[in-house]
Amino acid sequence: MSHMIKAGLVGVTGYTGMELARLMVHHSSMELVRVTSRAEAGKRLADIYPFLHRLPLGELVITRPDPADLAEECDVVFLAVPHKTAMEIAATLLEQGVKVVDLSADFRLNDKSVYEHWYATEHTRAGLLPEAVYGLPELYLDQIMGARLIANPGCYPTSAILGLAPALKAGIVETGDIVIDAKSGASGAGRGAKVGTLFCEVADSFRAYGLPNHRHTPEIEQEISKIAGTGITVSFNTHLLPIDRGILSTIYTRLKGSTSIEEVHDIFTEFYSDKPLVRVLPKGLLPETRHVRGTVFCDIGLVVDQRTNRLVILSAIDNLCRGASGQALMNANLVCGLDIDEGLPMAPMMP
Amino acid sequence: MSHMIKAGLVGVTGYTGMELARLMVHHSSMELVRVTSRAEAGKRLADIYPFLHRLPLGELVITRPDPADLAEECDVVFLAVPHKTAMEIAATLLEQGVKVVDLSADFRLNDKSVYEHWYATEHTRAGLLPEAVYGLPELYLDQIMGARLIANPGCYPTSAILGLAPALKAGIVETGDIVIDAKSGASGAGRGAKVGTLFCEVADSFRAYGLPNHRHTPEIEQEISKIAGTGITVSFNTHLLPIDRGILSTIYTRLKGSTSIEEVHDIFTEFYSDKPLVRVLPKGLLPETRHVRGTVFCDIGLVVDQRTNRLVILSAIDNLCRGASGQALMNANLVCGLDIDEGLPMAPMMP
Amino acid sequence: MSHMIKAGLVGVTGYTGMELARLMVHHSSMELVRVTSRAEAGKRLADIYPFLHRLPLGELVITRPDPADLAEECDVVFLAVPHKTAMEIAATLLEQGVKVVDLSADFRLNDKSVYEHWYATEHTRAGLLPEAVYGLPELYLDQIMGARLIANPGCYPTSAILGLAPALKAGIVETGDIVIDAKSGASGAGRGAKVGTLFCEVADSFRAYGLPNHRHTPEIEQEISKIAGTGITVSFNTHLLPIDRGILSTIYTRLKGSTSIEEVHDIFTEFYSDKPLVRVLPKGLLPETRHVRGTVFCDIGLVVDQRTNRLVILSAIDNLCRGASGQALMNANLVCGLDIDEGLPMAPMMP
Amino acid sequence: MSHMIKAGLVGVTGYTGMELARLMVHHSSMELVRVTSRAEAGKRLADIYPFLHRLPLGELVITRPDPADLAEECDVVFLAVPHKTAMEIAATLLEQGVKVVDLSADFRLNDKSVYEHWYATEHTRAGLLPEAVYGLPELYLDQIMGARLIANPGCYPTSAILGLAPALKAGIVETGDIVIDAKSGASGAGRGAKVGTLFCEVADSFRAYGLPNHRHTPEIEQEISKIAGTGITVSFNTHLLPIDRGILSTIYTRLKGSTSIEEVHDIFTEFYSDKPLVRVLPKGLLPETRHVRGTVFCDIGLVVDQRTNRLVILSAIDNLCRGASGQALMNANLVCGLDIDEGLPMAPMMP
C-alpha cells in the first residue's frame, strides 16, 4: 500500500464528517491521515465515534484545522464545514497545491450575486468560482477528473437534477411547469443540538419546512437550465421524514406531446446506460429510500399519468452518502485518478 | 344515562374498527352495544384489544354480523368492512330502519359507472346512491343532519378536499393545474397480514405507491368539481410514511392573478370561520401530522411562492381519526342530533 | 362551570408541561389559569404549542413565574421545573396557602441525607419533607387527599413500585435478589437541546444508560422497603427506547417457595381489585407500552419461570402520563376533592 | 477470479437470505452461484430484491432447491430455511460432499432429546450431531476450520454467550444467579406476513414476548455450561424493539468476591485480545445497537454495581449479521480456508 492517496477531512463531528469516516474504513487506495475539529482536537476518532473502536481509523488523532499541516500531509482535502467557513479554507488549501472537495454550498453557484442573494452573505472568494467544477459526475465527469476544486452538490439538488436531466435533455417536458416535492431524512438537518430535531419532535410525525425559499432552489435551477438550454424556474418544496437517511423527490412535469411510458423509459435508460450509479428502475417499479441506504446509487422510477399527461419522476438517494460524503468520495476518486466507485459500498442496508 | 344512543359496529378487527372502539370509550351520549366480526365472535372486546381491559367497553361480547339483531338493538350502525361487502349490509340495515354510516367507498361516488370503473366491480345497490350523503360536514352539514345513509369520506380525499375547497370556491386558482402530493401513515394500509407493511419493510424508509391510479382520485375530483362548478382532473399521488397515523397532503396550485398570502389567508380563514374543526394556521406556520394525532382536526398551512405564482396548500389530518372513524363519529353525532364534536378528543397526542 | 378549580403550571415548555396542557384540555372541573415560563412569557400557549390552536386553552398567555400571582389566582399549582428549583417555589407557594404538586424529585425522599447524596446538592427546604406525601395513589390514597404538598413520583419508580408492591406485601419473593431492567421512551430525557437525544442518535438504535447509579434508585428502595417492612437494595438499570412515550420495567424476583402462577396472579388481582387504574393482565398476556400510551394505566403482566423459580413482573406505563403529568393530575384531583380519574383519558392511542 | 469459491443459498426470501445476499455483493473470494426458493424460482434476484438492480448478483436466477445441482455447482451451501426442513437438506448435501453452514437450530443442540423437547419435533438426522460444530468462532475456531457441517448459532445465544464467556471462564460470577434480559429488533421475527409484526403493531411500542420458554434457552445453557464446567440454568427473557436490526442483551450476574471493574475489564480484554470481532469497550462506555449495525462486531460493555455486588454485562450485536448471516459467512470463510472477516463490512451504518 505504498501508494495510498492521503486525504484530510476538515470538520469531522457532523453527520457528513461521520459518513466520510464510515466510508473511508473500506477504501483500499485512499486513507484518511488528518481529521480536524476545533472542539474535539486531541481525542482519537474512536473516542468520539465508538463504532470505530478496534479499527485502525479509530486510532487517528483529531487535530485542530491547520491549512499548512493539511497541505503538507494530504493529497486531497474534504471540507465538511458550514458555508462561508469553507470558502476561506478552500482558498488557502488551493494556494498550497492541495485538491479540495468542498461539501458546502460555497462554490456551487456560478454567479456570485445569486449566491449572495440566497445565502445572505458576501462571497469573498468569488475569484475561484470559474474554476470550481460542480461535482455531479453523471454530468461533468471529464471536468471533475481535471479539477482541483470540486463544489460537491447539495443533497436535494443531486436527486432533483439526476431525476430531471434525461427528460430535459430530450426536451419532452414543459420547462415552465416543474414542481419538486422533496422529502428528506433527519440527518439532513445536521448534528447540531436543536429542539426541532430531537427524537420526540421528529418521530412519528411528518411536516414540510422551509417553504417557499429553500436555498437549494438556485442550485437546481442553475443546473437544469444548463441542461435544457433555457432558464427554468421551479417550485421546490421540502419535507422532513422520520428516518435517519434518505431523500425521495417526487418531480411533477408536464409532457409536451403524448410520449408513452415506453418512450420515456427508453430515454432515461439510454441517458444513464454508461452511468451505472444511477439505476433507472424497470417500468412499474418505484424507488424506496432503503434501497439506496448507505450507497451512492440514485434510483429513478417513472410514471406517465395519461389522464393529466404528466410525467412523474421519482428519484431516491441517501442524503448523507450520494447526497454528501459518498459523492464527495466519488469526486475525490476521480480527481485522484481512481475509479469513481472505489471504496464505495454497492449493497444498501436492507432491511 | 337513560337516553344513550345505541350504536353498532360491523367489522371491529381492522384499524378503523379499533379506532372507533377507542373513541367510543369517552362518548357520554352514545354507546357501542354491538360489535361484530365473523372471525372473533364470542370473544370479549378486551380479549382482542387488551387496551380495553378493565373498561366497560372491554366486556362487550363480539357477535357475528346479523342485520336483524343490529337493527333491533341499534339506532345507528357503522360499517367498517371492505367495499362491496358494505353495500349489501347497508341496504339491509336501511330497510330495517337503522341509520348507517358506511366507512367504505361504496356510496361515495355519485355515478355508478365511475364507481364500477375505478373499483372494477358491479354496484348492486346503486338505487341508494341518490340519497347517500357525502359525509364531509364542512361541506354538507345540513344534508348530513337529515340523512339516513352517510358515505364517510376517504382519508386522502378528506385532506385534499378540505385543503382545496376555499381556494376553488373563491376561484383564485387555475382548475387545470392541480397536483396533490399526499403522504400517509401505515395504518392506512389496513391491518391485514402482508409482507409489504411489516415493520421491517416500512420503518426507516419512504416510498411512493399506487401511482398513477389511486382509487381516491375520482372521489376527490367529484367533490372539488362541485365546489369549483367545473370538471376538474387532478394529478393525485400517494406515498407511505413510516408513522402509524397521519396524512399530509401538499397541494400545488397556480394562482390566477397575483393574490397575496394575506388575501389567501383571509379567504381560508373566512371559509372556515364557523367550522372550528378545521384550523387554518397563522401565516408562516406549517402543519405537522402529530399536531392532529388522534383528533378530527384538519390543519391547513398556506404558502404563496411568488417566484412561480403558485399557492401551496398543506393539509394535515389523522388518517384513522378525521380520515375514517373520527369523521364517522362526527357524522353519527349529527345524524343522531348530537353536537358534531361530542365524545371526540380535541387534544392530540403530543409528543 | 362556576366552581371550576383553578390550577397553575410552573414550567410549561418541557414535555411534562406540554403533557399537562394536553390533559387539561378535557378536564371539566379544573382549568389552567396560569402557565409560566421565563423564556416564553408574553406568548399565547398556542404560539408555542400549535396543537392548541383554536382551543380555549391556546389563548392563555404565558407569564413569568410569580408566586404571589400564582397564589392569588390558583387553588393548586403544578411544578414542572428541575429539582432544586422546585423546592424554593414550593415553599413560597405553601406559605401563601396554595396546594402544590411537585413533579421534581425534591420532596420524594424522606431522608434529607439520601437526597443530598444522590442529587449532590443541599436540600434547603428539608423542613417540608415530613409533610410531603409521596403521590402514588395506590399506596397513599388517604394521605394524598389530605395533603397540601405532593411529591409526585418519578416515572421509573412508579412502574417499579406498582409492579413489586403486591409481591412484597404478600412476602412471596426474596427481598435480597431483585433486579429491575427498565426501558424508557425518549421523552423521559426531556426537551432540552442535546446531541444525545437528536432523532438520528436515538432512532433505529437501543442502548443502556446511567448504569449503575440512576437517581431513581433510592426512591424505589425507599418505597418498596416500606412495603416489605425491611430494607431492600435493588439493582436498577435503565435503557433508552426509540419511542416517544412508554416505560416497560422487567422485574426479576426469586420466589421464596413454589408459588404457582395462579397464586401469584390472585395475589396481584386482589391487591389491585379496588384500584382500577392498575390493570393486572390475564395470565399469559404481557403488557405493551402502546396499550397505556397517553393514559394513567399501569399494566402488569406476570410470569413464573419454574426452571429458575423466578417471578418475572412486567410493568408498563406511559412515562409522561402516569409517570409524570397524568399522575400529577390524579393527585391534584384528590387534593381538590375530585374523583381520581376526572379529566383523564382512559383509551390509549392505538395504534 | 479463477479461484472464486462457489456458494449456494437455500432459502433466499427471508431476512437472513436477504442479508446473505447483501453481504455477498462485496466478497472478493466467494460468489453466490445458486440461490433457491420454491416460491420465486425463475425470477432474477433483482426481481425480488430491487436493491440489487444493476449489480451482477442481481442477474442470478433463482432456482428450485435441488441438492444434486447444489452439490455439483457449490463448494459450500448456506441453509436459510426453517428448522426441521434444514436437517434433511443438510444430510443430503453432506452425502454429496458439499460443506454446509446451517442457519437453523437443527444441529446446535448436542443432545437429541433436548432438541426434541424444546422444538417439539423428532430429530431425524441425529447421527450428524456429533460432527456438527457450533459456529461461534471465538470459542471453536479450530473445529470450525476443519468442519464440514456448521451449526450457525442463534442470534440471542451469540450475544449472550459472547457476553458471559470471559466471566464464566474466569470463574468470577455465581453460576446459579444469571438473568439475561434480551431485546431484539423486528427482523428477528422473520419476514412472514403476520399481524403481530406489522409496522403499526411494532412501531412506537415495546413489549416482552415468549416468556419464560424461548427456544434459545437450551442453546445458551449448553454453551455456557461447557465454558463454566458446570451445568447452568439461566433466566432468559426476550423483548421486541421497534428497530430493524440489533440485539442488546443486558446480563445480570452476581460476583463471587469483590472483583473491581478494573479487574473485570482486564479479564474481558484479555479473553478477546486476539479476537478482534468482539470489542470490549473502554470502561464507562456502553454498547449501542447502531454501533454494530450491519457488521459482525459484538460490542461488550461492563458495569460493576458495588451496592449489589453485581456484574452487569451489556452485549450488542446485529441480529441479522453477527446473529445470523454475517456469522454464517465468517464460518464459511473459515471452512473454505479464507480469513474470517473476508468480505465483511467493518463500518456500521451510522447514523
CA atoms within 13 A on the CB side of C329: 29
* Inside any domain, residue D143: no
- Alpha-carbon distance of B158 to B324, in angstroms, equals 9
Write the ipTM.
Answer: 0.97
User: Residue C38 to residues A73, C10, C52, C66, C81: CA-CA distances in angstroms?
Assistant: 51, 10, 20, 10, 11
CB < 8 Å to A175, chain B? none
Do B189 and B279 reside in the same domain of the chain?
yes
Low-confidence stretches of chain C (pLDDT < 70) are 1-2
- Alpha-carbon distance of C125 to C123, in angstroms, equals 6
Buried b (16+ CB within 10 A) or exposed e, C130-158: eebbbbbbbbbeebbbebbbbbbbbbbbb
Do B168 and B315 reside in the same domain of the chain?
yes
Dihedral of CA A127/A130/A136/A137: which sign? negative
- Alpha-carbon distance of B137 to C34, in angstroms, equals 35
* Inside any domain, residue B95: yes
Q: Which of B200, B201, B209, B293 to mutate to test the interface with D (most CBs of D within 10 A)?
A: B200
The answer to whether D305 contacts C212, with C-beta atoms less than 8 Å apart, is yes
Is omega for the bond preceding D351 within 30 degrees of 0, making it cis? Answer: yes
Q: Residue C54 belongs to what H/E stretch?
A: none
CB < 8 Å to B302, chain A? none
- Taking the mean position of all CA atoms in its chain, how far away is CA B319? 7
CB < 8 Å to C185, chain A? 200
For residue D96, the tally of other CB atoms under 10 A from its CB is 13
- Looking at residue D1, its pLDDT comes to 42
Minimal Cβ distance to B291: which of C51, C279, C347: C51
Query: CB-based contact (8 Å) between C248 and chain D?
Result: yes
Tell me the one-letter amino acid at D207.
R
Give residue for cell 434480551.
D182
Do B246 and B300 reside in the same domain of the chain?
yes
CB A289 within 8 A of CB A243: yes
CB C280 within 8 A of CB C265: yes
**SS3 track for D2-47:** CCCEEEEEECCCCHHHHHHHHHHCCCCCEEEEEEECCCCCCCEHHH
How many residue pairs bridge chain A and chain C with CB atoms within 8 Å of each other? 64
Do A77 and A42 reside in the same domain of the chain?
yes
> Closest Cα to residue C323, out of C26, C82, C16?
C16
Residues 6+ apart with CB under 8 A from B195: B201, D191, D192, D193
Q: Which among D155, D298, D321, D336 is annotated as catalytic?
A: D155
Query: What would the pLDDT profile of D24-51 be if each residue is shown by its tens digit?
Result: 999 999 999 999 999 999 999 999 999 9
Do D87 and D233 reside in the same domain of the chain?
no
Which residue in chain C is spatially nearest to D283 when comparing CA positions?
Answer: C211
- Looking at residue A3, its pLDDT comes to 80
The answer to whether B53 contacts C244, with C-beta atoms less than 8 Å apart, is no
CB A24 within 8 A of CB A74: no
CB A54 within 8 A of CB D281: no
* Inside any domain, residue D310: yes
Please identify among residues 177-216 of chain C the ones whose CB lies closer than 8 Å to any CB of chain A: 185-187, 191-195, 197-204
User: What's the grid cell of residue A262?
Assistant: 415506453
The answer to whether A312 contacts B248, with C-beta atoms less than 8 Å apart, is no
The answer to whether B203 contacts D203, with C-beta atoms less than 8 Å apart, is yes
For B73, the domain range is 5-131
Do D166 and D240 reside in the same domain of the chain?
yes
What 8-state DSSP symbol labels residue A103?
A: -
- CATH number, domain at C191? 3.30.360.10
Give residue for cell 400545488.
B252
Angle, alpha carbons B197-B198-B200 (nearest 5°): 120
Question: Is residue C155 among the annotated active site residues?
Answer: yes
Average per-residue pLDDT for chain A = 97
The Cα of A77 is separated from the nearest Cα of chain B by a number of Å equal to: 32
CB A125 within 8 A of CB A90: yes
B143 pLDDT exceeds 70?
A: yes
Do B291 and B177 reside in the same domain of the chain?
yes
The Cα of A64 is separated from the nearest Cα of chain C by a number of Å equal to: 21
- Looking at residue B166, its pLDDT comes to 98
* Inside any domain, residue A122: yes
Q: Which of C194, C200, C204, C244 to mutate to test the interface with A (most CBs of A within 10 A)?
A: C200
User: What's the grid cell of residue A43?
Assistant: 481525542
The Cα of B184 is separated from the nearest Cα of chain D by a number of Å equal to: 13
Query: CB-based contact (8 Å) between B225 and chain D?
Result: no
* φ, ψ (nearest 5 deg) of residue B166: -60, -40
The Cα of C185 is separated from the nearest Cα of chain B by a number of Å equal to: 11
- Looking at residue B1, its pLDDT comes to 43
Strand-by-strand arrangement of the B235-240 sheet = B207-209, B235-240, B179-184, B247-254, B310-317, B298-305, B278-280
User: Which of the listed residues A131, A165, A187 is the one where a domain comes to its end?
Assistant: A131
Minimal Cβ distance to C233: which of D289, D308, D316: D308
Which residue in chain A is spatially nearest to B261 when comparing CA positions?
Answer: A212
What 8-state DSSP symbol labels residue D281?
A: P
In sequence order, what are the beta bridge partners of B239? Answer: B183, B208
For residue A341, the tally of other CB atoms under 10 A from its CB is 17
Do D168 and D274 reside in the same domain of the chain?
yes
- Alpha-carbon distance of D301 to D312, in angstroms, equals 8
Q: Residue A121 belongs to what H/E stretch?
A: none
> Closest Cα to residue B265, out of B227, B303, B224?
B303
Average per-residue pLDDT for chain D = 97
Query: CB-based contact (8 Å) between A242 and chain D?
Result: no
Do C105 and C169 reside in the same domain of the chain?
no
- Looking at residue D3, its pLDDT comes to 80
3-state helix, strand, coil in chain B (%, to 5): 35, 20, 40
For residue A216, the tally of other CB atoms under 10 A from its CB is 22
The answer to whether D289 contacts C205, with C-beta atoms less than 8 Å apart, is yes
Neighbours of chain B (3+ CB pairs under 8 A): A, C, D
Tell me the one-letter amino acid at D298.
C
Do B176 and B259 reside in the same domain of the chain?
yes
For residue C257, the tally of other CB atoms under 10 A from its CB is 8
> Closest Cα to residue D102, out of D111, D93, D114, D110?
D93
3-state helix, strand, coil in chain D (%, to 5): 35, 20, 40
Minimal Cβ distance to D346: which of A25, A187, A299: A25
Is omega for the bond preceding C212 within 30 degrees of 0, making it cis? Answer: yes
D298 pLDDT exceeds 70?
A: yes
Per-residue confidence at A244, pLDDT binned at 50, 70, 90?
very high
Q: In a 3-state reduction of DSSP, which class is residue C82? A: coil
* Inside any domain, residue C9: yes
For residue B48, the tally of other CB atoms under 10 A from its CB is 19
Which residue in chain D is spatially nearest to C234 when comparing CA positions?
Answer: D308
The Cα of C217 is separated from the nearest Cα of chain D by a number of Å equal to: 11
User: Residue D122 to residues B231, D89, D95, D154, D222: CA-CA distances in angstroms?
Assistant: 68, 15, 21, 20, 19
Query: What would the pLDDT profile of B247-293 be if each residue is shown by its tens digit?
Result: 999 999 999 999 999 999 999 999 999 999 999 999 999 999 999 99
Dihedral of CA A277/A281/A285/A286: which sign? positive
User: Which of the listed residues D81, D114, D131 is the one where a domain comes to its end?
Assistant: D131
The answer to whether D286 contacts C310, with C-beta atoms less than 8 Å apart, is no
When pLDDT is averaged across residues A62-84 and rounded to a whole number, the result is: 97
Do A160 and A301 reside in the same domain of the chain?
yes
Tell me the one-letter amino acid at A345.
P
- Looking at residue C3, its pLDDT comes to 80
The Cα of B255 is separated from the nearest Cα of chain A by a number of Å equal to: 13
Per-residue confidence at A281, pLDDT binned at 50, 70, 90?
very high
> Closest Cα to residue C242, out of C164, C183, C295?
C183
Minimal Cβ distance to B198: which of D185, D197, D204: D197
- Alpha-carbon distance of C284 to C210, in angstroms, equals 32
* Inside any domain, residue D146: no
- Alpha-carbon distance of B320 to B57, in angstroms, equals 20
The answer to whether C193 contacts A191, with C-beta atoms less than 8 Å apart, is no
User: Residue D248 to residues A25, A351, C97, D253: CA-CA distances in angstroms?
Assistant: 24, 18, 50, 16
A1 pLDDT exceeds 60?
A: no
Do D209 and D105 reside in the same domain of the chain?
no
Number of folded domains that form chain D: 2
A334 pLDDT exceeds 80?
A: yes
Buried b (16+ CB within 10 A) or exposed e, D5-17: bbbbbbbbbbbbb
Tell me the one-letter amino acid at A6.
K
* Inside any domain, residue A235: yes
Task: Report the residue count for chain C.
Answer: 351
Query: CB-based contact (8 Å) between B51 and chain C?
Result: yes
The answer to whether B305 contacts A211, with C-beta atoms less than 8 Å apart, is yes
- CATH number, domain at D94? 3.40.50.720
The Cα of A233 is separated from the nearest Cα of chain B by a number of Å equal to: 7
CB D99 within 8 A of CB D76: yes
* Inside any domain, residue D347: no
Is omega for the bond preceding D56 within 30 degrees of 0, making it cis? Answer: no
CB C338 within 8 A of CB C29: yes
* φ, ψ (nearest 5 deg) of residue C347: -105, 120
Neighbours of chain C (3+ CB pairs under 8 A): A, B, D
